[in-house]
Amino acid sequence: MSNGGPRSQTILVVGAGIAGITAAVEAAEAGHDVVLLEQGPSLGGRVAQLNRYFPKLCHPSCGLEINFQRIKKNSQIKVMTMASVAGVEGGRGNYTVTVKTSPRYVNTRCTACGDCAKATSLEVPDPFNYGLSRVKAAYLPHEHAFPMRYVIAPEVIGTPEADKIKAACTYGAVDLNESEQRFEIKAGAIIWATGWKPYDANRITPYSYGLSPDIITNVEMERLANHTGPTGGKLTRPSDGAPAKKVAMIQCAGSRDQNHLPYCSRICCLGSMKHAAYLREQYADAEIDIYYIDIRAHDKLEAFYNRLRADPQVHFIKSKPGHIVVGEDGRPHVCGEDTVTRELYDRPYDLVVLATGMEPNAARGLAAPAGIEQDEYGFLLAHEGDDEGMFSCGVAAGPLDVSMSVQSATAAALKAVQAVRAGARG
């Protein structure tokens, strides 16, 4: 649906995870003005929260930093953090997008000196560590944050603590009067790169998440392993800080299950193998049991699987555990039946890691305009018609790993460029 009025050559990218960042950079380097919206305080999405990423187990800052440099050097990309879409009208070549920004309470004068954080003793759950640790109420999103700018937790606004934080800033960067703003921008094409959230493990009641601190999820494991995580990177039992050496990984926790996520998230098997590698690096005597239905290690990542499979201290157990209970010894016990040997088991562990899947970030209601639809699971599907100007990429479009997200983002950028150029001719 293209419509009348002046046509815009600007490409709007919604979501600044690895997919949105890639799409923005590719479109801008092809010569287009790009607006990149991110609802959070910094760019990078879930990849920034990984400890390392397969296949090479690189630190995520490697891949992200290169892209941050490309953004900094390109005057055609306008980045807005704390920003999301409140509504879209129009069609290809002529979208009017209502952007909504939430207050950060810190303006661009911030030098990230940290005096605001020193001024307060109040702490809030650290969103970057999935609430596994606490952070000062004036905080930097994380050590490699881009933009490198503090945020003030909304909980302190209106309290004397907020006044202390403001008084400590000698740059005039704290603005406690910031409020939600709405404004319109014009765009010729829109790329939705809104990514995913972890499936809520509380909903898998037989697995007792929430009944023991020693039953955690795979995304929490990423933070536990990281040097800026809650334990400084030590893989320990959250209950008492003892080394986590006997560890169970539960594959398909909620995935491929009609009661939860009916689909396969594609990356969880490799994610758990990566976690086994973290444990084996840290403890020579670690023993890891990976409970699986079947292993899905696709393409080039088969080699990573074969490496782990050859490790005598990593045991692959073909079984979907029936339940996890907290035993009288206080430890989580994994219970079920081995599909191969038919043996019934009830095994205690230091730590149980639930490999929960990726659920698309709710974009329902937002993505209603013509040109984008959701599949039955909530992933965004772009129409491929000549007249469309909306595209999706990364995990917003389906469960993908980083390299596949990057590929899909490059494809979306190309389609968006074609759409605005066709719009200019139309």
Least distance between ligand FAD and beta carbon 363 (Å):
6
Least distance between ligand FAD and beta carbon 71 (Å):
14
Q: Which is nearer to ligand FAD, 54 or 95 (CB)?
A: 54
Q: Which is nearer to ligand FAD, 85 or 173 (CB)?
A: 85
Cis peptide before 369 (omega within 30 of 0): no
Question: How many CA atoms does the CB half-sphere of 282 hold within 13 Å?
Answer: 22
Least distance between ligand FAD and beta carbon 371 (Å):
16
Q: Which is nearer to ligand FAD, 228 or 403 (CB)?
A: 403
Question: How many CA atoms does the CB half-sphere of 94 hold within 13 Å?
Answer: 14
The CA R_g of the chain, rounded to the nearest whole Å, is 23
Q: Which is nearer to ligand FAD, 24 or 169 (CB)?
A: 24
CA distances from 266 to 307, 360, 395 (A): 19, 14, 11
Q: Which residues contact 254 (CB under 8 A, 6 or more apart)?
A: 199, 201, 203, 204, 260, 261, 354, 356, 357
Q: Which is nearer to ligand FAD, 38 or 289 (CB)?
A: 38
Which residues, in sequence order, are bridge partners of residue 11?
34, 189
Least distance between ligand FAD and beta carbon 160 (Å):
31
Q: Which is nearer to ligand FAD, 28 or 219 (CB)?
A: 219
CA distances from 73 to 123, 143, 183, 242 (A): 36, 21, 26, 46
Least distance between ligand FAD and beta carbon 55 (Å):
7
Interacting residue ranges for ligand FAD, rule: CB under 6 A: 14-20, 37-40, 45-47, 50, 53-54, 84-85, 193-196, 218-219, 222, 267, 271, 274, 358, 361, 394-396, 400-403, 405
Least distance between ligand FAD and beta carbon 7 (Å):
24
Q: Are 291 and 322 in contact (CB under 8 A)?
A: no
Other C-beta atoms within 10 Å of 189: how many? 31
